Chain A
Amino acid sequence: QKEVEQNSGPLSVPEGAIASLNCTYSDRGSQSFFWYRQYSGKSPELIMSIYSNGDKEDGRFTAQLNKASQYVSLLIRDSQPSDSATYLCAVNSGGYQKVTFGTGTKLQVIP
């Protein structure tokens, strides 16, 4: 059973701080990694995709991938109350139909 693990949270950070969200995965052969944001009652929307070891930055978001340690993280700089949502980590272990989603980490940004 290929697994994607996330701390369910909630993770509470003050406005303006850096939020750090972590995800570990079990399949060492995984090649593609995604972070989705899901507001309460809404559908997931893609924030970041990352395929290579290292950091990938997009605005206030940075995805970090370490395949040797089998973890992927998402940093949100200058966190805003509008960032309050559940963040889903997704991992593709082979073939686009084999995307496995974690249960999500709930982030609360406190004004």
Chain B
Amino acid sequence: DGGITQSPKYLFRKEGQNVTLSCEQNLNHDAMYWYRQDPGQGLRLIYYSQIVNDFQKGDIAEGYSVSREKKESFPLTVTSAQKNPTAFYLCASSIVGSDIQYFGAGTRLSVL
């Protein structure tokens, strides 16, 4: 099945720890995105990437890092600098030139 796979579904972070959220897609989409969703809030863009080895900061990139070494993969690292990481993290992808985004199932991150 074609789609976007996010793992893990639930993740717990200890104080001072970096954690990495996985996002893999087999849709052959060029563009990939990371969003954060807090309760009662809209989706806020963290990072996006249009092509391999290139990515851009979104509106709330501080405390996060990404890499794009393969077209299929766009992992997000939540660093210890992100002081309020508890949220629902969504990965999305789209064809370059299209503004229609398709979402993975999400990862729910909590702080221990």
Contacts and interface: CB of A to CB of B under 8 A. Distances in A.
A99 B98 CA distance: 11
Contacts of A4: 42
A32 interface: yes
B64 interface: no
B103 A103 contact: no
B43 A8 contact: no
A4 B44 CA distance: 12
B94 interface: yes
B100 A46 contact: yes
Interface string B48-87: 1010000010100000000000000000000000000000
A97 B45 contact: yes
Contact of B40 (A8, A99, A100): A8
A97 B32 CA distance: 9
A101 B104 contact: no
A100 B98 CA distance: 15
Contacts of A103: 40-42
Chain A interface residue count: which class?
Answer: 20 to 34
Contacts of A104: 42
Interface in B19-46: 31, 33, 35, 40-43, 45
A60 interface: no
A97 B104 CA distance: 17
Nearest to B106: A43
Interface in A93-109: 96-97, 99-104
Interface of B: 31, 33, 35, 40-43, 45, 48, 50, 56, 58, 90, 94, 96-106
